[in-house]
Chain A
Amino acid sequence: MKPKPIEVFEKVVPLSALDWQDTTFLTSYGRPLGGLLQSIQAIGLQQPPVLEAKRDGTYRILTGRRRLRALVFLGREQVSCRIAERGAALADLHLFHFFDNLGQRTFNLIEKSWLLKMLGPFFREEELLKEILPLLDLPPQKVFLKRCQGITDISPIFWPSVLRERLFPEVIETVQQAFPKFASLLLALFILVRWGFQKQKEFLKGLQEIILRSQEPLEAILPDMMQKAILADPGFTPQQKGEFLRKKMRTRLYPTLTGLEKDFHERVRRLGLDERTRLLPPPYFEGGRYALTLFFSRTREIKESLECIGRILDKGGFDDFH
């Protein structure tokens, strides 16, 4: 997968002749111009962009799109560029673009994904895995290639969240595979409630489990789960909204258990234990061992609590708890 040398010649090109709409070689994403502007102002453009002349007289940008944008921003009208000789194969131009960038900077996840998407049509998967992924600091495994492809497939409105690690390649992959129709909705939901990777993963796993159990489609499940009124209410924090969703999910996944818990708390409330005494059920109501815990600061409090427990015992109040 060695790039063939691209013959270039120097030429001064008016910036107005650039075809900005042509994004064939656009991979740079999420990089503000600030530093570059200062650099150009201080020491001038050190590395000339590389262009390809198009038949309509305009130029396609092979490398240096940010530098060119900076020059436009600075009010320059022309720039000295390198022009690639006509006739180079597209695959070679893509490799040229890739290696030119590789030598100058590291790539963020969106850029890596785009580079792989661009190179994809021209090279075998094996070549991408063995030769390109390691250069992008990605393990040479299919799963990573697939996840990068997934990132380029989602709407660009989610890319900033990917860069800020609010959304995760593995989660995006699951959403796209399991819930393609609802991918955007679910990703937006995860951003809204500000969940980390683990919670996002758990939620998706829970959804899949509910669908398998109920044999209902996601559209039948989501309205009850999401309760738009709460999610849209600015009076709740993202954390509260997230907790609400998790609670809903737990009730759907463990209907009997959550029912038992509710019933247990109601029965404990009716017992009338004082506030220093706690009655705890066996974990998951498995086995028959309940725990009665007494908190106290003074000896007198123990006496009072025990008297209260004694009164409940005499009335057979604990008989239901085994």
Chain B
Amino acid sequence: MTFTKSPKNPYKKEPAFSFKKIMVDRKAQGSPLTQEILKTLAHLPQEWVEEDRPRFPLMNRTSSKRVLYLTHFQGQLVKPCPGTRDYLCCGYQILHTAVNCPMDCSYCILQAYFNQPFVRLFVNTEEIFRQLHEFLIRHQDETIRLGTGEFTDSLVLDPLTRFSSCLLQEILPHPKVVVELKTKSAAIDSLLRLNHPEKFIIAWSLNPAELIQREEKGSAPLSKRLAAARQCQDKGYRLGFHFDPIFYYPGWEEAYRRTVQRLFSKIEAGRIAWISLGCFRYLPELRSIMEGRQPASRLIHEEFIPALDKKMRYLQVRRVEIYAKMLEWIRRYGGDCLVYLCMENEAVWEKVFGFIPGQGSPSLKEMLDQRV
């Protein structure tokens, strides 16, 4: 795998994401991607990590997000989305390329999910693509929806890594494979230069503009996300939108209705592969982290209950109310898009849609696979 140097460094244009320091795992020194990034970010101080199990200095989460750590990931790099028993999973496959991201959403579940510091970029790309290749050969008869946005943002580091173009080369020979790139950024420049838009679904996480401004620090504002989505649509990409997490707060209805309306005023419904809905849920550990880091945020101060997957969720009746209204607005402004619920239980599906996937109808995985 080779990485060509772009004439400019678009990454520098994004001050919100500018790292303050690079740390490099000595094992990752020989990686072409490491060399490329060190050249691109040559102005940053570098620190080399020699130990196998390094003990990193104690650093708060905000500072930790300003450190880019180039390392190898030794484990399984392609794995199914970690769904839970009582909630229906869409069955997509995760390609593990990085952990954490330089954006700083107050509610980010990764804060409670990982205890590893820094934005960790796995630069053992040969191993990543070797494992991906093996996986795709092993599953060549199946429809595969692959995603890189589970543990990081799929595109925010793309100006630096140009990973999407490498990924395209790898999946191009596999007609039943599509990659969903989920993002809160507007970093689409490299995508606009690629051919074969049919191999990607570019997806944005959406929330009302004022909530983005308040709670999703460092991310692109709603207008920029939609503008980027429009550019991708014009380039021929199919799009995905994830209203996930949806928050319940005074005024949520009008805020989300307007957001749905804005979406469909900018984007052709026919170019949308799917829209997912998922209400805010969190590991109990996240609460104290949010209270400590974002004392002004009110998102956590609502009526939550411990759900069957041990996460805190809004009450089921509340979630049903939220989803039903979201669905109504999507139908009103966008017509007949495929809408699904992310990690919801059968009772909620039945109340919102009047059916349960997989019970006399295609499973959720099949519903989404049919769109690929």
Interface residues of B in 340-372 (CB under 8 A from A): 345-347, 350
Knowing A256-B318, A257-B315, the reply to whether A288 touches B305 (Cβ < 8 A) is no
| Selected interface stretch from B207-215, B261-269, B306-314 | B306-314
Q: Closest CB of chain A to B58's CB: distance in Å?
A: 17
Pair A253/B301 contact, Cβ less than 8 Å: no
Whether, in the assembled complex, A182 has its beta carbon less than 8 Å from a beta carbon of chain B, the answer is no
Pair B345/A256 contact, Cβ less than 8 Å: no
Residues of B with C-beta under 8 A to A288? 345-347, 350
What mask results when residues 245 to 262 of chain A are scored 1 for a CB within 8 Å of chain B, else 0? 000000001111100100
Checking A254, A285, A322 against B317 with a beta-carbon cut-off of 8 angstroms, the contacting residue is A285
Closest to B305 in A: A284
Instruction: Give the distance in Å from the alpha carbon of A209 to the alpha carbon of B347 in the complex.
Output: 30
Whether, in the assembled complex, B302 has its beta carbon less than 8 Å from a beta carbon of chain A, the answer is yes
Q: Which residues of B are at the interface with A, using a C-beta cutoff of 8 A? A: 86, 298, 301-303, 305-308, 313, 315-318, 345-347, 350
User: Can you list 19 A-B pairs with a CB-CB distance of less than 8 A?
Assistant: A213-B301, A213-B302, A253-B303, A255-B303, A260-B315, A260-B317, A284-B305, A284-B316, A285-B315, A286-B308, A286-B313, A286-B315, A287-B86, A287-B308, A287-B316, A287-B346, A288-B345, A288-B350, A322-B347
Instruction: Give the distance in Å from the alpha carbon of A94 to the alpha carbon of B368 in the complex.
Output: 77
Whether, in the assembled complex, A12 has its beta carbon less than 8 Å from a beta carbon of chain B, the answer is no
Q: Closest CB of chain B to A305's CB: distance in Å?
A: 27
Closest to A215 in B: B298
Residues of A with C-beta under 8 A to B306? 284
Whether, in the assembled complex, A291 has its beta carbon less than 8 Å from a beta carbon of chain B, the answer is no
Residues of B with C-beta under 8 A to A257? 303, 305, 315
Pair B301/A256 contact, Cβ less than 8 Å: no
Q: Which of A254, A260, A283, A287 has the most CB of B within 10 A?
A: A287
Q: Closest CB of chain A to B151's CB: distance in Å?
A: 26
Whether, in the assembled complex, A220 has its beta carbon less than 8 Å from a beta carbon of chain B, the answer is no
Q: Closest CB of chain B to A141's CB: distance in Å?
A: 17
Q: Closest CB of chain B to A213's CB: distance in Å?
A: 5
Closest to A208 in B: B301
Pair A286/B303 contact, Cβ less than 8 Å: no
Whether, in the assembled complex, A212 has its beta carbon less than 8 Å from a beta carbon of chain B, the answer is yes
Instruction: Give the distance in Å from the alpha carbon of A322 to the alpha carbon of B345 in the complex.
Output: 13
Instruction: Give the distance in Å from the alpha carbon of A61 to the alpha carbon of B267 in the complex.
Output: 85
Knowing A256-B317, A257-B315, A260-B317, the reply to whether A286 touches B302 (Cβ < 8 A) is no
Pair A287/B347 contact, Cβ less than 8 Å: yes
Instruction: Give the distance in Å from the alpha carbon of A212 to the alpha carbon of B306 in the complex.
Output: 20
Q: Closest CB of chain B to A261's CB: distance in Å?
A: 11
Pair A254/B303 contact, Cβ less than 8 Å: yes
Instruction: Give the distance in Å from the alpha carbon of A286 to the alpha carbon of B346 in the complex.
Output: 10
Instruction: Give the distance in Å from the alpha carbon of A284 to the alpha carbon of B303 in the complex.
Output: 11
Residues of B with C-beta under 8 A to A255? 303
Q: Closest CB of chain A to B221's CB: distance in Å?
A: 26
Closest to A289 in B: B347
Residues of A with C-beta under 8 A to B307? 284, 286
Instruction: Give the distance in Å from the alpha carbon of A253 to the alpha carbon of B302 in the complex.
Output: 8
What mask results when residues 99 to 113 of chain A are scored 1 for a CB within 8 Å of chain B, else 0? 000000000000000
Closest to B249 in A: A213
Closest to A212 in B: B301
Nearest 3 pairs between A and B by C-beta? Answer: A288-B347, A284-B305, A212-B301
Residues of A with C-beta under 8 A to B318? 256
Residues of B with C-beta under 8 A to A209? 301
Residues of B with C-beta under 8 A to A287? 86, 308, 316, 345-347
Closest to A288 in B: B347
Knowing A254-B303, A256-B315, A257-B315, the reply to whether A286 touches B298 (Cβ < 8 A) is no
Instruction: Give the distance in Å from the alpha carbon of A257 to the alpha carbon of B303 in the complex.
Output: 8
Residues of A with C-beta under 8 A to B305? 254, 257, 284, 286
Residues of B with C-beta under 8 A to A213? 298, 301-302
Residues of B with C-beta under 8 A to A286? 305, 307-308, 313, 315-316, 345
Instruction: Give the distance in Å from the alpha carbon of A225 to the alpha carbon of B286 in the complex.
Output: 29
Q: Closest CB of chain A to B328's CB: distance in Å?
A: 21
Pair A256/B303 contact, Cβ less than 8 Å: yes
Residues of B with C-beta under 8 A to A283? 308
Q: Which of B86, B302, B313, B315 has the most CB of A within 10 A?
A: B315
Interface residues of A in 187-230 (CB under 8 A from B): 209, 212-213
Instruction: Give the distance in Å from the alpha carbon of A284 to the alpha carbon of B301 in the complex.
Output: 18
Q: Closest CB of chain B to A106's CB: distance in Å?
A: 36
Residues of A with C-beta under 8 A to B301? 209, 212-213
Instruction: Give the distance in Å from the alpha carbon of A286 to the alpha carbon of B347 in the complex.
Output: 9
Instruction: Give the distance in Å from the alpha carbon of A287 to the alpha carbon of B313 in the complex.
Output: 12
Residues of B with C-beta under 8 A to A260? 315, 317
Pair A284/B315 contact, Cβ less than 8 Å: yes
Residues of B with C-beta under 8 A to A212? 298, 301
Closest to B307 in A: A286
Residues of A with C-beta under 8 A to B303? 253-257
Instruction: Give the distance in Å from the alpha carbon of A37 to the alpha carbon of B305 in the complex.
Output: 60
Instruction: Give the distance in Å from the alpha carbon of A286 to the alpha carbon of B308 in the complex.
Output: 7
Q: Closest CB of chain B to A126's CB: distance in Å?
A: 21
Q: Closest CB of chain B to A266's CB: distance in Å?
A: 16
Instruction: Give the distance in Å from the alpha carbon of A253 to the alpha carbon of B303 in the complex.
Output: 7
Q: Closest CB of chain A to B298's CB: distance in Å?
A: 7
Knowing A253-B303, A256-B303, A257-B305, the reply to whether A285 touches B298 (Cβ < 8 A) is no
